[in-house]
Amino acid sequence: MRLFFCVELAEPVRAALGEVAGALKARIGPGAKWVEVENLHITVRFLGEVGDPLLEKLQELGAEAAGASPRFSLRLARLGAFPAPRRARVIWAGPEEAPEGFARLVKRVEAGVQALGLPPESREAVAHVTLARLKPPRDVAAALAGTPLPELAVEVGALTLMRSQLTPQGPIYTPLGRWELGG
Tell me how far apart the 2 most distant CA atoms of the chain are, in Å. 48
Do residues 76 and 152 make contact, with C-beta atoms less than 8 angstroms apart? Answer: yes
Q: Which residues contact 94 (CB under 8 A, 6 or more apart)?
A: 76, 77, 78, 80, 126, 127, 128, 129
Question: Among 46, 51, 41, 49, which Cα is nearest to 13's?
Answer: 41
Among 14, 45, 108, 128, the one annotated catalytic: 128
Residue-level pLDDT, tens digit, the chain, 183 residues: 999 999 999 999 999 999 999 999 999 989 899 999 999 999 999 999 999 999 999 999 999 999 999 999 999 999 999 999 999 999 999 999 889 999 999 999 999 999 999 999 988 889 999 999 999 999 999 999 999 999 999 999 999 999 999 998 889 999 999 999 996
Do residues 176 and 14 make contact, with C-beta atoms less than 8 angstroms apart? Answer: no
pLDDT score, position 154: 96
- CATH code at position 56: 3.90.1140.10
Sign of CA dihedral 49, 53, 56, 57: negative
Among 3, 17, 21, 41, the one annotated catalytic: 41
Do residues 48 and 5 make contact, with C-beta atoms less than 8 angstroms apart? Answer: no
pLDDT score, position 67: 97
Question: Among 43, 47, 179, 177, which Cα is nearest to 113's?
Answer: 47
Please give the tally of structural domains in the chain. Answer: 1
pLDDT score, position 78: 96
pLDDT score, position 35: 97
pTM of structure: 0.94
State the residue range of the domain holding 34: 2-180
Round to whole Å and give the CA distance between 116 and 64.
14
4 belongs to the catalytic site: no
Pairing, β 129-138 against β 32-34? antiparallel
122 belongs to the catalytic site: no
